[in-house]
Amino acid sequence: MGVFTVLTRFIVQPLSVVDDELVPKVGMTFRTLEDAGKFYRNYAKASGFSTRVRCTNRKGNEIKNQLITCSREGKWKSKISPTEKTNPTAGLNCPARIYIHTLKDVGAWIISKVVLDHSHPCCPSKAEMLKQHRELSMSIRRTIENNDEAGIRPSKTYQSFVAAAGGHRELNFIEKDVRNYITREVRNIPSKLNGYKAHADIEQQMSHVVWNSHSKDSFDRNWNDFLVNFGLADNKWLSGNVFLNSAAEVEQAERESDAADFHTVIPCATKSPIETQFQDAYTQAKFREVQAQFRGKANCITRLKNSALGYSVYEVGEQVSSSILDKFAVTYDSVAAEVKCQCLLFESREILCRHALSVLSFEQVSQVSPRYILERWSKKVKRRHTHIKSSHDEPLIEPRSKRFDQLVFRSQNICEFASESEELTAILHRAYDNIMAEMEAVKAKRKGTSSLSHEEANLESVNELQSPPRIRTRGRPKNRLGSKLEKQIANATKKKKTKVLSELMRECYIQINLFDAASAAHSSSSQYQGQI
């Protein structure tokens, strides 16, 4: 309980936008432990966090209870020194959790304890980028396997998924997941490289390049060096740049970076409160640059030259090597809270240099002025270009192709569900047969009646259309945009008048025949003859 007491002032209440049916409550029962875990994962995704199994108690081979917590629970202490550790850490002693135990007599599982509060903010819009909530469906995995067998690069495969789904945001996985699946599950690599004498070294170096390249530029550089060193430049399967420098990819990379900034934290290398200030404000990429200056501060020696009315001049010596000591002039205005260094690093790269940080430490400054924390490097900045529509947002395809893509995309989930058993597969086959018969009947019925009804509707409404007003112009009359429509209206009207006239003539013909027959029967009546 002591941990929760300490974290009271950091507690963030659960989001109210989550459907109440998704919120775990004490007393909820489930048929299996897997169902309970899936329920909590769905709640976590809707709320904006991920989970992990903290501990599982067993009696023999049977599970008795299980504790599932927020993935940011605990404060793991690294064996690596903070001055050397640069990888981000996610642990924040988050108290959110559920406790599940079995009901042996009933054969079910029940939630006996629930903590909904978190020690960190939760963002549902970024939940899809968390590793737990990213997944590859069966259809996606089959496509990856087929494309890999055909020699299609992972980046191309991922881009095909993006195009089919309508954008990066419509996918619940990233390009890294595609690469991981190929590396760990497909293992196409030995068969491609067994022909080379040093294939073991090639595989080892390839793995090193894939897993230790932290940016696109570094990957391109390391991959090209790898091809040259092993003489693989002519290998069509290996050669080529696997990253495309497009605006959509840049946006996706920054989305992933934003999710990492939100969900993880790079530990401070020093005890300086100023470093903590930058850690809270800056993105991980920019904070790494700042942190390098804090590490370099250890090589600096600060000496006060003169001071008057809050304005001080310092000489900072930096031990570049065992025999070289560079000197820099640094000024500090305590009234304006302004520091300037001769090296002009802040003016060029917009980060405080190690010389200025050394002076601030000498002056015992705990917080730097906001002028030195630029908004453009803030992890909370709202990127404008992420709202720019790309070609994936509104694909320029004909309606039938668009409908086809939507049907295929939805049918994949149905097929994956039905493939779990023969019974479900048979049900889906019967449903397909019934649906096909129904669609064929509708299509046949529509084919026989649609043309007539369409024509009749046009003829009935044609009199409601009015031509645009005619305006006399000088010279030769010009073609107008409405001339084609006028001809169609005139033709339709003419056909209708002709039809009406034909009906009148037919009725008159019948009447004449009747009159002729009557006159032949009563030819003796002169009075009737006169009337005829």
DSSP codes joined into one string, 168-230: GGG-SS-HHHHHHHIIIII--HHHHHTTSTTHHHHHHHHHHHHHH--SHHHHHHHHHHHHHHT
Contact of 24 with 46, CB cutoff 8 Å: no
332-390 pLDDT per residue, tens = 999 999 999 999 999 988 899 999 999 999 999 999 999 998 888 887 765 544 444 44
The pLDDT of residue 201 = 81
Two structure tokens written together for 314: 């310092």
Two structure tokens written together for 403: 């409908």
- Residue reference for tokens 């170096």: 205
- 331: closest CA among 354, 360, 351? 360
Sign of CA dihedral 46, 50, 53, 54: negative
Please state, rounded to an integer, the average pLDDT across all residues of the chain: 75
Q: 110-114, 136-140, 362-366, 472-476 — which is least confidently predicted? A: 472-476
The pLDDT of residue 193 = 65
Q: How confident is the model at residue 494 (pLDDT cuts 50, 70, 90)?
A: low
Q: Could you give the count of Cα atoms lying within 13 Å of 189 in the half-sphere of its Cβ?
A: 18
Contact of 386 with 255, CB cutoff 8 Å: yes
257-267 pLDDT per residue, tens = 667 666 778 88
Q: Give a three-class secondary structure readout of 350-389.
A: CCCCHHHHHHHHHCCCCCCCHHHCCHHHECCCCCCHHHCC
Q: How far apart are CA 128 and CA 168, in angstroms?
A: 11
Amino acid identity of residue 331, one-letter, is T
CA angle 136, 138, 139 (to 5 degrees): 100
Two structure tokens written together for 376: 């453009």
The pLDDT of residue 472 = 52
